[in-house]
Amino acid sequence: MFHADSSAAIIEDGEVKFAIAEERLNRIKHYAGFPSLAVQACLDFMGAKITDVHHVAIGQDTDANLAKKLQYTLANPSGILNFVHLRRRKQAMRNVRILLANALGVDHKAMRFREHRVEHHIAHIASAYYCSPWEKAAGFSYDGSGDFVSTMMARCEGTRIDVLNRIFLPQSLGSFYTMICEFIGYNQYGDEGKVMGLAPYGKDTYYEHLRQIVGLNNGSFRLDIDYFKPLGSNQGMQVLPDGTVRLARHFSDKMVKDFGEPRQPRTEITRREMDLACAMQQRFEEVFFHLLNQLHKRVPVDLLAMAGGCALNSVANGKLFDRTPFRHTWIQPAAGDEGLAIGAALYTYHTILDQPHRHAMKHSYFGPEFSDSRIERALKENNLRYRKLERTPLLESVANQLAAGAVVGWFQGRMEWGPRALGNRSILAHPGLASMKDVLNARVKHREWFRPFAPSILAERQHEYFEHDHPSPFMLHVYKIRPEKREQLCAVNHVDGTGRLQSVASQENPLYYDLIRSFKQETGIPVLLNTSFNENEPIVCTPQEAIDCFKRTHMDALAIGPFLVFRSEN
Ligand SMILES: [Fe+2]
């Protein structure tokens, strides 16, 4: 709450039942206020009231690492005002009972829950380890910052998470990445993922220079802070009164002195931006692997449980099997800060309440779903012509459309938890048509030319198409596509011959799996192009939002529950 990607999750007897980011409900991207609608949605799903809830856990502990915060502030007196402002703001939002009572319209005296605060990065690691099927793992979390820490390493065993190391601000690999992204004109919260796609277009011209900015340091790393603005309010992120998030400027004048004027957003991307993106990604990976190798020395197992915003760097994730001793990853699908809701709840359950019974998270479909009658009502209210189909004819019709080059909105079942659309709120297309990327960008998605689209592949066929067979169920790994398959997958093959794949197993999403299989029967390709169902907005949640997006853009068809809508008939 009061942090970008505010969210809520509800667990019962250690099992995640429902989880959602507030942005999906109030439609404000990366919303950073109080997650009122998300809390209400959790309760509605359970058929419960807030008075039924026994424990409320928050993935933020303003008292954690206080000594380090003070130490930094005293050494950097210019930051004292910010520090005081930050503490005051945080004090104001401490009373969760009042906040919940106001959000839900209940008397705060009627609530009987116990309240728990879990340090930011412990919650991140908990969101990965407790959801993994493992009894022992190395835990790793890294991001811009949370509770004054940017990186945490832990030994996870049974129900315990033992913190081995914290890297404190201003040292932050996430801030380094954000700083360069801002400098090259990507200055919105969450833009880092876009720049990752730009990196392979560049050369390593600035590699030596960036190596000076982030040095390796005996199992850790060290930023040259002359290139960074001193820490500001909320550690580089401003939350505006309407709950939207704005990044404070991260780079200092020294960046301008060394590299020239920063690129203004929406201006032409030059060689310099590509080369900076390339060197940044390269240096980021090196430091990441250095940290992981250090972690492995202290926790010598080959299982890695990971979260934190930087864990969304799927390019780095895809390489770690070759560059570190880790052989298996379990990365929380909501690796960014919305995932803290699940992590804080599971940490409370297992560690604070000492409950041993674990539930592995096998999919990410923890959001709302809508009945056929509700969907049909929305179609009627929008005066759309549609047909209702049984499962097999629906799959065959959609596969047939996709094979013929159509762009299809695919809205099914429960919405995904986390930033990726994984086949329930997706826009789908043929992955082997050379023009498809341009078609999607011109008609539907309007994204930057350099951003790749992602492939969803039948899990058992992954090794035939990709050079790695470690599964990527949550689209969190980028692997090389085998050279002989790149033409067949040309619409999802990035400039460096890679793809950020989703491996789809039948037991995780049977309907989506069978759709890909139907497409394979038509085309011989066990892969679909999968991009999120949205257009410059949070991913659609409700049938009405899907219909609005379908009408606004130029999709050819919409498969929404058992109903199929064709643009040509409307
Ligand atoms: Fe975080």
pTM of the model: 0.96
Residues 6+ apart with CB under 8 A from 314: 196, 472, 475, 476, 477, 478, 500
The alpha carbon of 337 and the centre of ligand 1 are apart by a number of angstroms equal to: 5
The alpha carbon of 173 and the centre of ligand 1 are apart by a number of angstroms equal to: 12
Within 10 A of 87 (CB to CB), how many other CB atoms are there?
14
Spatial strand order in the sheet of 387-388: 387-388, 563-566, 557-560, 408-411, 425-429, 527-532, 454-458, 498-504, 477-480
The alpha carbon of 360 and the centre of ligand 1 are apart by a number of angstroms equal to: 22
pLDDT at 226 over 80: yes
- Residue 311: DSSP 8-state: G
**CA 267/CA 39 separation, integer angstroms:** 40
Are 349 and 12 spatial neighbours (Cβ–Cβ below 8 Å)? no
The alpha carbon of 168 and the centre of ligand 1 are apart by a number of angstroms equal to: 13
| Cα-Cα-Cα-Cα dihedral sign, residues 424, 426, 431, 433 | positive
Q: What is the DSSP string of 214-257?
A: EEEETTEEEE-GGGBPPP-GGGGEEE-TTS-EEEPP-B-HHHHH
What's the Cα-to-Cα distance from 107 to each of 8, 30, 49, rounded to whole Å? 20, 29, 12
The alpha carbon of 34 and the centre of ligand 1 are apart by a number of angstroms equal to: 17
Within 10 A of 256 (CB to CB), how many other CB atoms are there?
12
The alpha carbon of 66 and the centre of ligand 1 are apart by a number of angstroms equal to: 17
pLDDT tens figures, 255-271: 999 999 999 999 999 99
**CA 272/CA 142 separation, integer angstroms:** 27
Mean pLDDT of 442-462: 94
Q: Which long-range contacts (CB under 8 A, 24 or more apart) does 293-296 make?
A: 293/324, 293/325, 294/153, 294/219, 294/220, 295/138, 295/140, 295/153, 295/164, 295/165, 296/138, 296/324, 296/325, 296/326
pLDDT at 422 over 80: yes
The alpha carbon of 59 and the centre of ligand 1 are apart by a number of angstroms equal to: 9
The alpha carbon of 6 and the centre of ligand 1 are apart by a number of angstroms equal to: 11
The alpha carbon of 121 and the centre of ligand 1 are apart by a number of angstroms equal to: 7
Using pLDDT thresholds of 50, 70 and 90, give the confidence band for residue 567: very high
The alpha carbon of 150 and the centre of ligand 1 are apart by a number of angstroms equal to: 8
The alpha carbon of 463 and the centre of ligand 1 are apart by a number of angstroms equal to: 33
**CA 511/CA 248 separation, integer angstroms:** 43
Q: 74 in helix, strand or coil?
A: helix
CA 137, distance to chain mean position in Å, is: 22
Mean pLDDT of 131-135: 98
Residue located via tokens 């996430």: 174
149 strand-pairing partners: 146, 168
Q: What is the rounded average pLDDT for all residues in the chain?
A: 94
The alpha carbon of 255 and the centre of ligand 1 are apart by a number of angstroms equal to: 26
The alpha carbon of 438 and the centre of ligand 1 are apart by a number of angstroms equal to: 34
pLDDT at 234 over 70: no
Cβ burial, residue 57 (10 Å; 0-12/13-18/19+): buried
The alpha carbon of 124 and the centre of ligand 1 are apart by a number of angstroms equal to: 7
The alpha carbon of 263 and the centre of ligand 1 are apart by a number of angstroms equal to: 27
The alpha carbon of 119 and the centre of ligand 1 are apart by a number of angstroms equal to: 10
Helix and strand numbers (H, E) in the chain are 19, 22
Using pLDDT thresholds of 50, 70 and 90, give the confidence band for residue 74: confident
The alpha carbon of 86 and the centre of ligand 1 are apart by a number of angstroms equal to: 17
- Residue 429: DSSP 8-state: E
Helix extents (H) in 436-554: 436-440, 462-465, 510-523, 543-552
The alpha carbon of 382 and the centre of ligand 1 are apart by a number of angstroms equal to: 40
The alpha carbon of 333 and the centre of ligand 1 are apart by a number of angstroms equal to: 13
The alpha carbon of 208 and the centre of ligand 1 are apart by a number of angstroms equal to: 29
Mean pLDDT of 200-208: 97
The alpha carbon of 117 and the centre of ligand 1 are apart by a number of angstroms equal to: 15
The alpha carbon of 441 and the centre of ligand 1 are apart by a number of angstroms equal to: 31
pLDDT at 92 over 70: no
